[in-house]
Structure 1
């Protein structure tokens, strides 16, 4: 049992946030309700589009993100997880506005790569156009010795971006084929593994046959990081295998 309360700043999108809560539950070693991690989900789909904000064609999402953080603070949370990769482009502003630690999804993905025994080398990353343009994974994985390759502009336009939109529209099954093709193209260019760097992408990949190469589900990675945080003082197993 842990008394640490996890805050989840979600709604970007709602299905990814729900999947995060599901994985947080399944990965927690527990035999009864009381063994699970107390968590508060702030799921607000009104957060402005992060891709549009990055392009300068939409409003800044930071004020509404901060509103969610204030709500989680008021609820007594001790740390915050954000199951949206692109939102981490505003993490400096969020961290400056709260005393709570914010778990970083890129750091969680790096730990997942190490956990799978994938050392330095070429790694593929799939994500939104904004996540890739901001260099969240390119910068975040470089210190670990990984070189990052990503889908090119044509692959983004034909495969990745439309598939992410399908998941957000609850048409998850339709997203599998284009996402699987985009991931395969990255391995054909030398990627040893593919990081699914948008929390909609693991949902689409899971809707069909598993890829024949290693992938990092960033929803799962963030859930594991959240459990490690919650269990730091509890001396209990960090995660269960599922």
Structure 2
């Protein structure tokens, strides 16, 4: 995946309006907004980031598109991006890890910077030196099959690995349980998975599906958790602190 990361700076007009492509799934998008609010050193409503959240759960399933011949979500993601830009968004962020695999095509020709969850997460992991023997990548089958995180970690020199075959199906079950609102079932599945991953050398867990932070938190089963949504939210807030909206 070509990097389109903008860690950075609002466009020259300086409104700081951020467009969030969400709905993949709805709970993850709500959590992302909470992360942005929590990261903001605000003392009043007007101190928070101005956002447009496009929450469309009708966007075809990204993992199914990659592994099961499902409908391609590219055009739906592109339509969301174009609508946000038309509404004034000067920066985009996509609140779904698996969707990042489709972004080169979905955002082709759209001249608005993107904050990439993948790039920001790998940057922070390298900067903090997390992971010990390796970061265990907890993600959908589609994200795992794409290699997007494996390649990004390898390029940054950060050891990382995907769950072995007996564990990965349980992670997918946990993701589906979160989508269905059954957090207790998801927690039980992930506790077992985390115990096995620790035995195989995991020094940290990567919540590389946006459903997982709802269960994992900042630490889970004694292992630190890298949450791409939280890290992207913190990056957005940092990058906009100097914009006119916060002056």
Same-fold call, TM cutoff 0.5: yes
Q: Shift of residue 233 of structure 1?
A: 4.2
* SS of the residue 1:153 aligns to: coil
Structure 1 residues 57 and 39: alpha-carbon distance in aligned structure 2, compared to 1, 3 A threshold: same
C-alpha contact (below 8 Å) 1:166/1:175 kept by paired residues: yes
For residue 50 of structure 1, the aligned residue among 43, 62, 67 is 62
1:26–1:224: structure 2 CA closer, same or farther, 3 Å change rule? Answer: same
- Give unmatched runs, 5+ long, in structure 2: 1-13
Displacement of 1:193 after TM fit? 1.2
> Which deviates more, 120-129 or 138-147?
120-129
Q: What is the TM-score when the length of structure 2 is the normalising length?
A: 0.87
- Per the TM alignment, residue 94 of structure 1 is displaced from its structure 2 partner at its CA by 2.5
Contact 1:124–1:148, Cα closer than 8 Å, also in 2: yes
Pairing 1:91–2:103 present: yes
Name 1:80's counterpart in structure 2: 92
CA-to-aligned-CA distance 1:110-163 (integer Å, 9 cap, x gap):
233245442785221110000011011101111221122111222122x10111
TM-score by length of 1: 0.89
Give the conservation status (yes or no) of the 8 Å contact 2:24–2:57.
yes
Aligned residues: CA RMSD: 2.3
In the alignment, structure 1 segments of 5+ residues that lack a partner are 237-242
The residue aligned with 2:172 is: 161
Query: Aligned pair count?
Result: 234
- Per-residue CA deviation, residues 186-234 of structure 1 (Å, 9 max, x unaligned), is 2221122111110111112249x84312111122112112223323546
Q: Deviations over 1:71-118 (max 9, x none)?
A: 110110111111110000112112313111111111121233245442
Which residue in 1 is equivalent to 2:195? 184
C-alpha distance in 1 between matches for 2:123 and 2:234: 10
